[in-house]
Structure 1
Amino acid sequence: MIGLPTSTRAGHTDMRKGFNGLSALVQTALEANPFCGHVFVSRGRRGDMLKVLWFDGEGLLLLAKRLERGRFVWPQAVSGRVSLSPAQLSMLLEGIDWRMPTHTDQPVPAA
């Protein structure tokens, strides 16, 4: 398990990009430093693939995930940036609709 920082950015990009292409996109489109420790998440056009770019203090990590079924629920970005909480990011990476999570079981009163 990789413990990701609390500040995460979301975006949409071409999934053919690698380390250099995604770093350049972070610098130009988001006007951010890819080496700042933030997590930058990009989703493919179809919505079934995403890439995570993160500088852990020693080097850049590039993680990719493709869902075999379903789509990643993507936030609406007005300014090109969206900040997610660690819980929201975790749900997004699992393919869960993080906007309206529901409990699988309702508590039953004891009495």
Structure 2
Amino acid sequence: MNPRAIDTSQRPFVLIWEMTQACELACKHCRADAKRRRHPEELSTDEARALLDDAREFGEGQLVVLSGGDPLARNDVTDLVAYGTDAGLKVTLTPSGTESLTVERIEALADGGLRRL
């Protein structure tokens, strides 16, 4: 998709979803106000899928960035990447540089359709 062809008065160029505040690092300078534990009111997996369904309403190829905190703090992130990709979204991920970002995790995310990290 050519970014110049997107009418941003009709749809966003990019949707950035801060899916968790949880992050092992919890850096003081973090713009996400990260915490070491997940917030109890974070979206459930079903609610997260519904949010991705809503994003799909903007059209095929909508760019969605899964952000945080550290999105890898959510056990369902690989499932959500696959769900969004299967729905026709372009899903990207902005993880923290922690030990949770393993080769196995990257491969699982790639198998789920993630193309950018």
TM-score (norm 2): 0.29
Higher normalized strand content (fraction of residues): 1
Bigger CA radius of gyration: 1
TM-score (norm 1): 0.30
